[in-house]
Structure 1
Amino acid sequence: MHDERDELAWYKLTSTWIDVDVLGWELEGGKRDCHEQFSDIPERDLLLAKRWANKVIGQRRTWRLVVERGFEHYEAGHRYS
């Protein structure tokens, strides 16, 4: 059964330190998770991080770059739904 709330759920994907010396990705929103960096090549790392986040969420999302206070992250869904 399709749940409309899944389409409206908001997610945030951020490249960050997930441990003292481990770079990785943090997924926030309807589901939370962390994963170590996927690749040393930034473009490939971002692509793989988005794929991983979609897998955790359970469906493909459209991610958009957001810059807040000089820091970048990616968002999918509707923040204020």
Structure 2
Amino acid sequence: MSAALTKKVDAFMNEVAAKNPHEPEFLQAVHEVAETVIPYIDRRPKYREGRILERIVEPERTIIFRIPWVDDRGNVQVNRGFRVEFNSA
């Protein structure tokens, strides 16, 4: 990868990391995709203008739900569950 493309990947990753600082697995996955996709997008202005990368790293939908359960002592506990969807296609 050229130095110019490496700079673009790094700049993009800095933006994503600023929004998701406590998500190392997500950042690793985004970095792997960005290294592959940025050279392709760089050659196609319509994808750059459409901000495709910025769109795919933001969830389309986030669902938060409660999970009630009974522990070993018979006490009801309530936890929070999350489902994050990046594509509903």
TM-score (norm 2): 0.28
More strand by share: 1
Q: Computing the radius of gyration over CA atoms, which structure comes out larger, 1 or 2? A: 2
Q: Which has the higher contact order (CA 8 A, sep 6+)?
A: 1
More helix by share: 2
TM-score (norm 1): 0.29
